[in-house]
Chain A
């Protein structure tokens, strides 16, 4: 097991810069998510770490050892592919045994280790099956067992849960996390699913257009996004744009918004404020003021009921704001109703606009 350091890695394909000077530290034993939209470079970065592709410049080390020119088969990594990539001509047990067998382990060692790995992923009895006789979730587990049986220094997962349906995905998220804790392997997984990244990882790296936008623990990125992109890609956010006033921004119509967190900016510069939809309190006109300086008037244009919560779309000054309200059994607001939105400065993140 080992940490992974990526330093100033760039990779271009023709004129397209897939990775642009990316540096990121993956500490030993951590669970990392690389999150980004398609084309953001997250898979390219994973393939550099795996050794399927080599960077044009920059350094990659695994456990302190420089590997940027070492081919994948010599890196001692484990990888789970999006479509599992199980060998169709081999049984489940032979699939899992493959890594040990090419390494020349004895039959006895292989048998013990394969059984242990299959037990770990709770497929102890299915060793004799063929991949095509398994369900999607089972194949996923076989792929995982195959990747960890060789005791890799790093476990790489490329959208591992993308092909599963929602309920199974949630099960596998928990399962994956349990297994990772149990074996303690440094794990890096690529996903475009923000929920997956939030629930599973210790740290998240958000990528966009080949650049690392922000990196940190999920809560930190969620609560203190450093860019509009980070704010809207990880979770949902209402974005207000205006000029900085020192403790917030002033919108074009003169309304002041007070921000309690985020960047410190000199007055006068362009800036934005991000507010999470669930941080905004919505009330009808009649409600008493609650002391929050951030108050806006608007009109409900749409309501989407989602069981445990409702999302209100509120029109205000040509902007549609989202407000999420927990379903506490209170009377719902009608579409077309005038409302007042209030939220605290602590819920408002000031973001520099570049």
Chain B
């Protein structure tokens, strides 16, 4: 009995340590965004001064909007194209299908630094150049395989007879997809979309290579700002992003029980 209790206690300790490891830096940063001292000095004195000055920091704000915009567009494009590609790979047999599927995985494994360099060279070569449009293109290319992999995994659990049953009842291809297939793969589509959003919103390396000085994304801007000298405004913007993204995650997790119920 005693050993069971000790093990139970150790297990709990482990979970708490894990959570602390994950969240402590974030919590400290969030707290410091409300601290008067810009140098992480205690005692803690409450202020919203950094949020006010963040509001004045046009560069940071515009970089944030750039990031949000690119991430949202990337998510939409990748979710639509990726889901459509997954459905095609699931439904149809065609020459070179296996080869195509195999080709989808390596881009996930290739370091972003290398992909970024390659994209920079290629975009210059074909005249796309640098800028927000180039960043968007790069992000779509990076995120697409994730969506296809996640949606395809979900499709593996889909019974093809369901589509046949729907067709036998007179449903055309579009009705079959919208009313039978999509509802089933929706959790995969949402998860894939979240991946796409994360890949884009978190993206530093590729964005850094493809950004032009006036037109950057938030991670690139934060990096540039830290190199110039740290300001608590960065804590403030990070805190806002953490709160918003965690709220989004919790909401999606609530509406689409990932992995759980079929």
Contacts and interface: CB of A to CB of B under 8 A. Distances in A.
B20 to A, nearest CB: 40
- Top 4 A-B pairs, shortest CB-CB distance: A99-B169, A85-B165, A85-B161, A79-B168
A16 interface: no
6 contacts: A52-B167, A52-B168, A73-B167, A79-B165, A81-B161, A89-B184
Contacts of A156: 168
B165 A81 contact: yes
A73 B171 CA distance: 6
Given A89-B183, A102-B171, A150-B170, A72 B159 contact: no
Q: Classify chain A's interface size.
A: 20 to 34
Contacts of B165: 79, 81, 85-87, 146
A72 B167 contact: yes
Contact of A83 (B161, B168, B183): B161
A81 B262 CA distance: 21
Interface string B139-165: 000000000000000000001011011
Nearest to B158: A88
Most chain B CB within a 10 A radius of its CB, from A50, A72, A85, A147? A85
Given A73-B167, A98-B169, A146-B165, 5 more contacts: A50-B168, A85-B161, A99-B170, A102-B175, A147-B168
Contacts, number: 66
Interface in B225-239: none
Nearest to B186: A89
Contacts of B36: none
B180 A87 contact: yes
Contacts of B166: 87, 98, 102
B172 interface: yes
B12 interface: no
Nearest to B159: A85
Contact of A98 (B161, B164, B172, B179): B179
A92 interface: no
Nearest to B161: A85
Contacts of B183: 89
A270 interface: no
A85 B159 CA distance: 8
A71 B167 CA distance: 9
A193 B228 CA distance: 80
A102 B163 CA distance: 13
A73 B179 contact: no
A205 interface: no
A4 to B, nearest CB: 15
A320 to B, nearest CB: 42
Interface string A52-73: 1000000000000000000111
Nearest to A72: B167
A125 interface: no
A102 B172 CA distance: 8
Contacts of B184: 88-89
A234 interface: no
Most chain A CB within a 10 A radius of its CB, from B167, B168, B171, B262? B168
A98 B171 CA distance: 8
Contacts of A277: none
A77 B159 CA distance: 21
Contacts of B180: 87, 89
Nearest to B169: A99
Most chain A CB within a 10 A radius of its CB, from B170, B175, B180, B184? B170
Contact of B168 (A77, A86, A87, A89): A77
Contact of A78 (B161, B168, B172): B168
A76 interface: yes
A103 interface: yes
A222 to B, nearest CB: 32
Most chain B CB within a 10 A radius of its CB, from A73, A74, A83, A147? A73
A81 B165 CA distance: 8
Nearest to B262: A88
Nearest to A82: B161
Most chain A CB within a 10 A radius of its CB, from B162, B167, B169? B169
A71 B172 CA distance: 10
A146 B169 contact: yes
Interface in A229-285: none
B161 A73 contact: no
Most chain A CB within a 10 A radius of its CB, from B180, B184, B262? B180
A73 B172 contact: yes
Nearest to A94: B179
Interface string B174-202: 01000110011000000000000000000
Contacts of A74: 170
